[in-house]
Structure 1
Amino acid sequence: MTAIYNVAPNAFNADKDEATDLEKAILSAIAEARSTCELNGDGSPNCAVAWDIVEELQAEKSHQLQAKKHKNSLESFCDLHPEALECLIYDI
């Protein structure tokens, strides 16, 4: 089993296409793990390695989701209405 998956290495630069690439890689790794375990048996080292790959890809997806900055309601409002009094920033 020699599968190489290229996924988004930097969570801060991940865009929507890379997220779908990561999801595709996870689905492909799951299919590969299932077929590997069917061929070699559930207790084989190759089966364990295949599921480790799936676990690592899922962990990367989780890390990318946590790395995204979540805006609060004021930040969302200011994105839509930067001229509002609540959004003005003064340097004194």
Structure 2
Amino acid sequence: MSENIKERIEKEIEDARSACDVSGSNSQECAAAWDAVEELQAEASHQRDKGTDRTSLETYCDNNPEADECRVYDT
């Protein structure tokens, strides 16, 4: 994830907190501000995942290295 998007997320979080403080936590402004944060976080996640073309088995084995399906044998 690039530093630029991290900085944008941090700024949006500050803006969202400010909007909620000013308008109230149940206001449309507050909700819209947090929606903007969520959209940036989703974009950051998408950028992280974009560079990895992992198979479902590779992902499974990363999370379950002890599984039989993930054993690696020397030949």
Please give the range of the TM-score, normalised by the shorter of the 2 chains. Answer: 0.5 to 0.7
Q: What is the RMSD of the two structures over their aligned residues, measured on CA atoms?
A: 1.6
Residue 38 of structure 1 is matched in structure 2 by: 21
1:48 to 18, 31, 35: 31
User: How many residues align structurally?
Assistant: 54
Q: Deviation digits for residues 56-78 of structure 1, max 9, x if unmatched?
A: 0000000000001368xxxxxxx
From the two aligned structures, give the one with the greater helix fraction: 2
What 5-or-longer segments of structure 1 have no aligned partner?
A: 1-15, 72-92
* 5+ long unaligned stretches in structure 2: 55-75
Post-superposition Cα deviations, 1:4-38, rounded to whole Å, max 9, x if no partner, equal xxxxxxxxxxxx7xx10000000000000000000
> 1:59 pairs with 36, 42, 48, which one?
42
What amino acid is the match of 1:54?
A: V
TM-score normalised to structure 1 length: 0.55
Q: Which residue of 2 aligns with 1:21?
A: 4
TM-score normalised by L of structure 2: 0.67
Q: What's the % identity of the aligned pairs?
A: 43
